[in-house]
A and B are shown apart, each in its own frame.
Chain A
Amino acid sequence: MKGIVIGQYVPGKGFFYRVDPRTKIVAVLFLMIGTFLLNDIYQVIGALLLTFILLVIGKISFIKVMKGLKPILILLIFTFVFQILLNKEGALVLDSNLNISLINIAFVIGLFIVWRLLAKFKKFNFLLFIAFIVGSIFLFANVTISGDYLFTSFNFRIYEKGIEMSIFVVLRLLIIITLSTILTLTTKPTDLTQGLESLLRPLKKIGFNSDDFALIISISLRYIPTIFDEANKIMQAQASRGADFSEGKLKDKLKQVISLLIPMFIIAFMRSEELADAMGSRNFIPGKPRTRLHILEYSYRDVLVSMFTVAFFTIALLLRINVLGY
Chain B
Amino acid sequence: MGYITIKDLNFSYNRKQNVLNNINVEINKGDWVAVLGHNGSGKSTLAKALVGLIEPQSGTITIDGLELTEESAYDIRKKIGIVFQNPDNQFVGVTVRDDIAFGMENLQVAREEMIERILFYADKVQMKNFLDKEPSQLSGGQKQRVAIAGILAMKTDIIIFDEATSMLDPSAREELMSYIKSLHDEGLTIIMITHDINEALLADKLLILKEGEVFAQDDSRKLMRHKHLFVESHLELPVALDVANELKDKKYDLIKETLWAYVSMK
Contacts and interface: CB of A to CB of B under 8 A. Distances in A.
Majority-rule SS of B interface residues:
helix
Contacts, number: 95
A291 B89 contact: no
B84 A295 contact: no
A277 B81 CA distance: 11
Contact of B90 (A278, A283, A288): A278
A271 interface: yes
A2 B138 CA distance: 10
A101 to B, nearest CB: 59
Contacts of B150: 282
B102 A282 contact: yes
Interface stretch (A14-22, A145-153, A214-222, A308-316): A214-222
B90 A275 contact: yes
Contacts of A281: 51, 53, 77, 81-82
B88 interface: yes
Interface residues of B, number: 40
Given A222-B93, A282-B154, A293 B98 contact: yes
Interface string B72-108: 0010011001101010111111100110011111111
A267 to B, nearest CB: 10
A23 interface: no
Nearest to A4: B136
A294 B51 CA distance: 28
A229 interface: yes
Contacts of B97: 293
A285 B105 CA distance: 11
Interface in B88-147: 88-94, 97-98, 101-111, 114-115, 118, 134-137
Given A222-B135, A282-B92, A292-B105, 12 more contacts: A2-B137, A225-B134, A226-B135, A226-B136, A277-B84, A283-B74, A283-B106, A285-B106, A289-B108, A291-B114, A293-B105, A293-B115
Interface of A: 2-4, 189-190, 218-219, 221-222, 225-226, 229, 271, 274-275, 277-285, 288-295
